[in-house]
Amino acid sequence: MIGWACRQLVIWGGLCLLLYAAVSHRELLLPQDDGKAAAATATAPAPRADASRQTAYNALVYQADKRGHVVLEATVNGAPVRFLVDTGASFVALTLADAANAGIGRSSLAFTATMNTANGQAHAAPVRLREVRLGQLAIDDVQGVVQDGLPISLLGMSFLKRVDSWEMRDGVLTLNWQ
């Protein structure tokens, strides 16, 4: 009887160790994603996880309002700016008032660009923004425009494409960077 119990203990113990090893090293057993599957939500390229080197990312998370819009507070050239996140906007677009607060005077603006917006065509002045900062995330030398008649400044793709990844899912915007 004792021999049978010892044999069962060794068998079940071995199976438990095998199961533990399989779960602990499942990344070696499961097929790797080749990156061809399309995401169902709007997402920027996410960094690939390398099993030999894990990188720590910083993240900022913003909740959309009841209309599905993400409105956030940031600074441009050190001045506070309220932005509407607009993934359809090619550039960071500032209102005249926000541009003035950021040290961009109207006399230095040349409204030479024509922008195709959701409300039709608009004239804009191309600018380079010294810094756009969201919390701990600071992006230097951001391409932008100042647009006359804009009701709120837009945080567009000239900023979003400079973070490592961003994702909008279930009303939550997540920005990731190193």
Per-residue pLDDT of the chain (178 residues; tens, 9 = 90+): 888 888 888 888 887 777 776 666 655 555 544 443 333 334 444 444 444 455 568 999 999 999 999 999 999 999 999 999 999 999 999 999 999 999 999 999 999 999 888 888 899 999 999 999 999 999 999 999 999 889 999 999 999 999 999 999 999 999 999 9
Identify the H or E element spanning 74. Answer: strand 71-76
Instruction: Please return the burial class of 112, using the count of CB atoms within 10 Å of its CB with bins 0-12, 13-18 and 19+.
Output: exposed
Give 3-state DSSP helix, strand, coil % of the chain, rounded to 5. 20, 40, 40
pTM, full prediction = 0.69
CATH of domain 58-177: 2.40.70.10
Two tokens at 27? 């990344």
Longest dimension (CA), the chain: 97
